[in-house]
Amino acid sequence: MKPKKINDQPLNGNLLVSLCKGYMDAINKGHLPNVESAWFYVCRSEGLKAIKESSDFMEREIEELLKNPIKLNDIAEIKNQLREQVIAKFKKRSLGSEDSHPDLL
């Protein structure tokens, strides 16, 4: 059996619950459920989780970096490398396109 997908993203248990919440919110507000808006809700929720995980990763990396002396000339390069790693982690963890969470990037 193939995994269920929405917009080419595999749907797991947490995503299904989030999708259901989006439908229920629409119904409770007297609106018709809309797959697009429910998917946006799921992408936004997963995006916020991705931000938390990326932020935690960044904090751990900074703490590790501060354990050793850093040359002033190396700070910009270290910052750029860490930024790239954090953005890559965020994009890997988040769902949908960048249009689903433009204010999160």
Local structure of 35: helix, strand or coil: helix
Q: Which of 84, 94, 97 is nearest to 49 (CA)?
A: 94
Quote the mean pLDDT of the chain. Answer: 82
The answer to whether the CB of 85 falls within 8 A of the CB of 93 is no
Query: What confidence category does residue 61 fall into, taking pLDDT thresholds of 50, 70 and 90?
Result: very high
Query: What confidence category does residue 96 fall into, taking pLDDT thresholds of 50, 70 and 90?
Result: low
Spell out the domain ranges in the chain: 11-97
Q: Over 70: is that where the pLDDT of 36 sits?
A: yes
Q: Over 70: is that where the pLDDT of 97 sits?
A: no
pTM of the model: 0.64
